[in-house]
Amino acid sequence: MTESILERTNVNLLFIGDIVGKGGRRAVREMVPELRREFNCQFCVANVENIANGGGMNAKTLGQLIPDFIDVATSGDHVWDQKELELEIERFDNVLRPANMSCKQPGRGFAIFRNPGGGDIAVLNLMGQVFMRPSARCPFEKAEEILGAMPRNVKCVLVDIHAEATSEKAAMARFLEGRVTAVLGTHTHVQTADAKILPGGTAFISDVGMVGAEASVLGRELDAVVDKFRSGMPRRLPVVEKGIRLDAVVISYDPETGKASKITPISRMSNV
């Protein structure tokens, strides 16, 4: 099955959309090993900023996924929702926070990793500015700065652009076209229908989606979210922990050039 979907000569990597809560963590542990086998992916990246009770992350929840199920974890505007992470993040070499946050914040937003499938992979985590928290600096300038210092031997560069506006994500993809392997949008929890390979060999999708409940609003209880919108009042929005759907993409690329040749969206229901 794998050989009929993706070229054998290329290297394939799996990128998983925003993982929400305990149900999302459970679905990743159930489904990712099989997905990695099916699509011959020896490297897996996931956005994990909502794995702890639907908001933030900590060492305990990260330890349930890293390194057995995912190789690198990215994040976004909810990265510091769990206060303990401020002290814990330095323990993880493979957990990233947005690179265009203040340099005074702990952790890092960019790193280079060895892919068992061949070559190195640079993973860059960025956060958008449009309709987002004002703490984010210009992601375009930060991307330019990091790419300018990239070692020449690193051919595969994966960018997680955690942003609200589709226009900002698409602009980032065009800005980096031909210079990175993939620009993958996260944050809105809805898998978009615009997955494509740009002419310069960069894979793009506005939003990968989420690992969260199918019968929910972005992973939260339906009635609570509807009531919040109708009343305009503050409401607790519990995470739905069952009926989980996993959204992801598989990127197929040439390890010699870093150019992507195929992006395959995935959306499957979990059995747990």
- Which stretches of the chain are assigned E, i.e. beta strand? 11-16, 18-19, 41-47, 72-74, 110-114, 120-127, 156-162, 182-186, 196-197, 203-205, 210-213, 244-253, 260-269
Query: Which tens digit of pLDDT belongs to each residue from 157-205?
Result: 999 999 999 999 999 999 999 999 999 999 999 999 999 999 999 999 9
Q: State yes or no: pLDDT of 264 exceeds 90.
A: yes
- Number of Cβ within a 10 Å radius of residue 1: 9
- Number of Cβ within a 10 Å radius of residue 196: 12
Q: What is the pLDDT confidence band of residue 9, given thresholds at 50, 70 and 90?
A: confident
Query: Which tens digit of pLDDT belongs to each residue from 211-224?
Result: 999 999 999 999 99
Q: Mean pLDDT score of the chain, rounded to an integer?
A: 95
Angle among Cα 141, 105, 111 to the nearest 5 degrees reads 60
Closest CA to 118 of 249, 2, 254, 4: 254
Looking up residue 49, the CATH number of its domain turns out to be: 3.60.21.10
**CB of 120 closer than 8 Å to CB of 156:** yes
Question: For the chain, how many structural domains are there in total?
Answer: 1
Higher pLDDT, 8 or 183: 183
Residue 151, domain extent = 2-269
- Number of Cβ within a 10 Å radius of residue 90: 12
Is 78 annotated in the active site?
Answer: yes
Closest CA to 255 of 157, 150, 110, 144: 157
- Look up residue 235 and give its two tokens: 């409401």
Query: Which tens digit of pLDDT belongs to each residue from 34-75?
Result: 999 999 999 999 999 999 999 999 999 999 999 999 999 999
Please report the sign of the dihedral spanned by the C-alpha atoms of residue 133, residue 134, residue 140, residue 143.
negative
Q: For the purposes of burial, counting CB atoms within 10 Å of the CB of 34, is it exposed (0-12), middle (13-18) or buried (19 or more)?
A: exposed
The pLDDT value recorded for residue 2 is 46
Higher pLDDT, 134 or 240: 240
The pLDDT value recorded for residue 4 is 45
Q: What's CA 7's distance to the chain center, in Å?
A: 23
Query: Which tens digit of pLDDT belongs to each residue from 241-262?
Result: 999 999 999 999 999 999 999 9
Q: State yes or no: pLDDT of 118 exceeds 90.
A: no
